[in-house]
């Protein structure tokens, strides 16, 4: 009798230990046990987008998909509730919007189309060479900077200082929220919450839009974008960047700082700003205005259908609007709505700012943005960089 009780106790103890082990496992690992890892190549062919735990949709695989989903439901109770929403992505169903038949004999459209193909090729090859994304798992965080326009089925990843204010104006006009881009004020664009973000949708909504909408982003030469951000945030009155970033930067990097500078955070010098940027122990965190495009938009996880450049903004933007069938009277706005009296940040102005730095600081700054330079095919901004 005593032996039987001891045996039963051992069995119960073992079962309890198994349950505890399952609950302590990494939720991502549990999910990955349900399906084999997806080895996905970047390509232009239309492929399905599948949720974790469900096999990619293929002809004749309906029964396997149902069985996989049932298995997922049975095991889902073991996944910790606070785990992130996991999405497993293939390439977009819209690799690049197709030229209309009447445009195929238009040399201008054909040339712009080939430019897009080349930009996407370089981006994919860079991702394939430097990024390990075989599983290609994205979470709502990865789509948190993507704005949604449902009428023309557009997803736009916001890159600050690369025309984002005017792109939001265009999206608002496309959505019928305004009749003209000129009617929309800066604060309305950024603080009006008129545009939806992709991470605000449920799983089904994210799934549908990533798989069927035209996804685009516009980028800018990294050093030029950085100088533009510095001029905007630190050379003009700003009740957020001065007290939050300016005070911390001056306190850490300026010797014999005045009490006024420490109190207000105004007057940050470009060299001090670069010291902050390159410091692995920054006194204050990163900001979207000088973060990498690679982190903002995750181009190695999300296959963008269109990659525009600030340097050719008017041509690229209007080509994109043509591809999606936007109204012919809608063109990309040229106006500069903040600090309109200031000269736009150009290559010449950028070089003047970086001339204030030592060769070592310029090199480290280039290393900091190296993946953006490589992925979007920008030339080295200084000859002495390696």
Residue 286 has what pLDDT? 95
pTM of the model: 0.75
Q: Which residue has the higher pLDDT, 200 or 38?
A: 200
Q: Which residue has the higher pLDDT, 69 or 250?
A: 250
Residue 53 has pLDDT above 80, yes or no: no
pLDDT digits (tens, 9 = 90+) for 6-51: 656 565 556 555 444 434 443 333 333 333 332 333 333 333 333 3
pLDDT digits (tens, 9 = 90+) for 277-312: 999 999 999 999 999 999 999 999 999 999 999 999
Q: How far apart are CA 345 and CA 39, in angstroms?
A: 42
pLDDT digits (tens, 9 = 90+) for 136-167: 677 888 999 999 999 999 999 999 999 999 99
- For 26, the token pair is 């990494």
Q: Which residue in this structure is represented by tokens 């948190």?
A: 144
Residue 65 has pLDDT above 90, yes or no: no
Cα torsion at 247, 252, 253, 254 (round to 10°)? 60
pLDDT digits (tens, 9 = 90+) for 363-384: 999 999 999 999 999 999 999 9
**Backbone φ and ψ of 58, nearest 5°:** -140, 155
pLDDT band at 169 (very low <50, low <70, confident <90, very high): very high
pLDDT digits (tens, 9 = 90+) for 251-270: 999 999 999 999 999 999 99
Determine contact, residues 370/130, Cβ cutoff 8 Å.
no
């Amino acid at each position: 009798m005593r032996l039987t009780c001891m045996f039963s106790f051992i069995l119960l103890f073992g079962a309890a230990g198994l349950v505890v082990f399952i609950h302590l496992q990494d939720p991502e690992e549990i999910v990955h046990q349900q399906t084999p890892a997806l080895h996905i190549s970047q390509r232009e062919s239309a492929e399905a987008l599948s949720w974790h735990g469900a096999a990619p949709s293929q002809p004749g695989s309906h029964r396997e998909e149902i069985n996989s989903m049932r298995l997922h439901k049975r095991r889902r109770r073991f996944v910790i509730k606070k785990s992130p929403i996991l999405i497993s992505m293939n390439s977009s169903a819209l690799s690049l919007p197709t030229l209309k038949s009447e445009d195929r004999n238009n040399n201008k459209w054909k040339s712009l189309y080939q430019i897009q193909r080349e930009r996407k090729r370089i981006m994919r090859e860079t991702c394939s060479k430097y990024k390990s994304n075989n599983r290609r798992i994205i979470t709502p965080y990865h789509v948190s900077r993507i704005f949604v326009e449902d009428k023309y089925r557009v997803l736009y990843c916001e890159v600050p200082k690369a025309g984002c204010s005017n792109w939001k104006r265009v999206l608002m006009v496309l959505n019928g929220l305004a009749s003209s881009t000129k009617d929309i004020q800066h604060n309305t664009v950024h603080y009006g919450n008129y545009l939806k973000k992709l991470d605000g949708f449920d799983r089904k909504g994210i799934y549908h839009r990533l798989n069927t909408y035209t996804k685009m982003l516009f980028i800018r030469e990294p050093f030029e974008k950085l100088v533009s951000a510095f001029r905007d945030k630190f050379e003009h009155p700003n009740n957020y960047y001065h007290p939050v970033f300016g005070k911390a930067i001056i306190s850490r990097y300026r010797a014999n700082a005045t009490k006024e500078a420490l109190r207000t955070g105004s007057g940050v010098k470009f060299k001090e700003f670069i010291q902050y940027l390159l410091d692995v122990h920054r006194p204050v965190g990163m900001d979207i205005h000088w973060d990498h495009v690679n982190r903002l938009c995750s181009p190695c996880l999300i296959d963008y259908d269109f990659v525009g450049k600030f340097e050719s903004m008017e041509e690229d933007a209007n080509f994109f609007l043509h591809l999606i069938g936007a109204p012919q009277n809608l063109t990309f706005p040229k106006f500069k709505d903040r600090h309109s009296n200031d000269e736009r940040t150009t290559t010449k102005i950028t070089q003047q700012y970086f001339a204030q730095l030592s060769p070592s600081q310029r090199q480290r700054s280039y290393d900091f943005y190296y993946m953006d330079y490589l992925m979007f095919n920008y030339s080295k901004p200084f000859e002495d960089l390696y």
